Amino acid sequence: MLAVLGFATLISFMIVVMRRWATAFVAIIAAPIVFALIAGRGLDLPDMMEAGLETTAPTAALLLFAVLYFGLMMDLKLFDPLTNFILRISKGDPLRISVGTAVVALAVALDGDGTTTYMIVCSAFIPLYRRLGMNPLIIAVLATMSLGLISGSTPWGGAATRAISVMHLDAGDYFVPLIPSLALTSVFILLVAVVLGLRERRRVDADLIVELAAEIRAGSRSGGSSGSGGVATMLGGGAHSAAAAAAAGIGAGDGSTMAAGAAAGAGTATGGIGWRYWFNLVLTVTLLVLLVLDLAPLVILFMVAFVIALLVNVPTRHEQGELIKTHGANAVPVVILVLAAGIFTGILSETGMISAMANSLLSVVPDSLGGLVPLFTALISIPLGFFMSNDAFFFGILPVLAESASTYGIHPMEIARAGVVGQMAHMIGPASAPLWVLLGLLKKELGDFQRFAIGWVVVVSLIFAGFCVLTGAISVSL
């Protein structure tokens, strides 16, 4: 009964969101409450919802300050040189831009933090996509797949860390056999980028591509390689920073104008790079290094970095307040959706619906096919990863699957590797907190994104599972 109610919760949520009958915030809270009431757990709802909020509140705080920090950095044109470089290399070709999106996303995903990955990728590519009229959902699908594959599988990325810790595995023994599968799947993500880029090349006005290519050549000859001017002005003139930020949905009010003024004061608006630019670059690189080294809680790192950036770039009290109001307004929708996702997963977990769904799926494997448990784990991790939080899956479901596999002589290491196959699906699901940041940057609805992405994600996830089998990362025996 619980399994049926769990699947009904998931299906009803997807239908409401994809058909736009309600906002994601309403649907993600209402669906589990309704079916918890049907299950007779109405009196337990407050405790279950509180348990879920406790798991996502730290993430919500992290995303609040991450949005504030990267919003300020984009106002200050920190990523303009990266945009310039990509623009010159792409020559305005949608195919090259699409492939470049995948390359940058795969590289940045090594950092392990989803919010950081999305912020950097979007800041570099949104102006290019807007300029050519390319579909920004391409950024979303390539970024989520790259993050799910790389960050979701590496021992420092979070998801795999949970599997390694809960089953007491050696990180090196887990990771090394997985590297060939990661490399092969990365190549396939690049192929997806090629397909999407070719589709956009045919759709985008050819005259617009030729016009942009000519502007790039002219901008390069006029010194576009220096500072944030030159080529960047093609994407919005001297006010490129504020325009790009507004296009991304991360600030276009007084606060971003003041930050742009600070950038101009440092010399960035006139083609030169001032001292503040180099300070912001060093600050951001230091922040990323500290994130990887995990020397302090992520929310503390972003909070302190944001305060330092404010003091250096926006020193007056009034301007600081206006900037916080501007970017805070853009952060609030992300934060409330993350908290709502906590309620969603809290109710599903505490009612026992998640365990019941996993057990019902596992029960379809007959004893005679016990050697297929690793492959089956990889396959069911795709739908379960889509709807479940990583804590619920890796701490609640994966140990149960590992115990079942042990009865067939299968090492927990293989179950851990199989479990991360579903991480690409997780990155497009409602329980993925950074996804809400990505959708806010792109100004897209969850249902629109999922309709566009789900086919690609499922196919690439299945290919990843196939590569794991072919390379021996997970075994299959009959």
Which pLDDT tens digit goes with each residue over 179-192? 999 999 999 999 99
Three-class secondary structure assignment of 83-109? HHHHHHHHCCCHHHHHHHHHHHHHHHH
Angle at 456 between CA 453 and CA 460, to 5 degrees: 135
Angle at 314 between CA 313 and CA 320, to 5 degrees: 145
Q: Side chain identity at 178, as an amino acid letter?
A: L
**Is the torsion defined by CA of 115, 117, 118, 124 positive or negative?**
positive
Predicted TM-score (pTM) of the model is 0.71
Q: Strand, helix or coil at 122?
A: helix
Helices 137-153, 446-470: inter-axial angle, 10-degree rounding: 40
Which pLDDT tens digit goes with each residue over 267-309? 444 455 788 889 999 998 898 788 767 788 878 888 999 999 9
Contact 330, 253 (CB under 8 A): no
Per-residue confidence band for 195, with pLDDT thresholds at 50, 70 and 90 = very high
Per-residue confidence band for 247, with pLDDT thresholds at 50, 70 and 90 = very low
Higher pLDDT, 187 or 173: 187
Contact 320, 314 (CB under 8 A): yes
The encoded tokens of residue 170 equal 């050696």
Q: Is 437 exposed, middle or buried (0-12, 13-18, 19+ CB in 10 A)?
A: buried
The encoded tokens of residue 282 equal 């060093």
State how far the alpha carbon of 267 is from the alpha carbons of 217, 241, 257, 274, 285, in Å: 24, 14, 15, 5, 21
pLDDT at 349: 82
State how far the alpha carbon of 439 is from the alpha carbons of 10, 253, 342, in Å: 20, 20, 18
Higher pLDDT, 177 or 171: 177
The domain segmentation of the chain, as residue ranges, is: 58-165+181-337
Contact 208, 250 (CB under 8 A): no
Q: How many helices (H) and strands (E) does the chain have?
A: 24, 0
Which residues lie closer than 8 Å to 30 by C-beta, 6 or more apart?
16, 22
Whole-angstrom distance, CA of residue 97 vs CA of residue 136: 11
Q: Give Cα 302 to chain centroid, integer Å.
A: 17
Long-range contacts of 258-267 (CB under 8 A, 24+ apart): 258/314, 258/319, 258/322, 258/323, 259/72, 259/75, 259/76, 259/313, 259/314, 259/323, 260/75, 260/76, 260/77, 262/76, 262/313, 262/314, 263/75, 263/76, 263/77, 263/228, 263/313, 267/227
Per-residue confidence band for 311, with pLDDT thresholds at 50, 70 and 90 = very high
State residue 364 phi and psi, 5-degree precision: -80, -10
pLDDT at 111: 67
**pLDDT at residue 28 greater than cutoff 70:** yes
Which of 446, 474, 451 has the alpha carbon at shortest distance from 381? Answer: 474
Which pLDDT tens digit goes with each residue over 433-454? 889 889 888 988 888 999 999 9
The encoded tokens of residue 319 equal 């301007």
Placement of tokens 């302190």 in the chain = 304
Per-residue confidence band for 250, with pLDDT thresholds at 50, 70 and 90 = very low
pLDDT at 340: 85
pLDDT at 36: 93
**pLDDT at residue 211 greater than cutoff 90:** no
Which residues lie closer than 8 Å to 118 by C-beta, 6 or more apart?
143, 147, 434, 437, 438, 441
**pLDDT at residue 144 greater than cutoff 90:** yes
Whole-angstrom distance, CA of residue 55 vs CA of residue 393: 13
Please give the average per-residue pLDDT across 13-19, as a whole number: 78
DSSP 176-201: GGGHHHHHHHHHHHHHHHHHHHHHHH
Which of 170, 68, 70, 76 has the alpha carbon at shortest distance from 121? Answer: 70
State residue 365 phi and psi, 5-degree precision: -85, 115
pLDDT at 355: 75
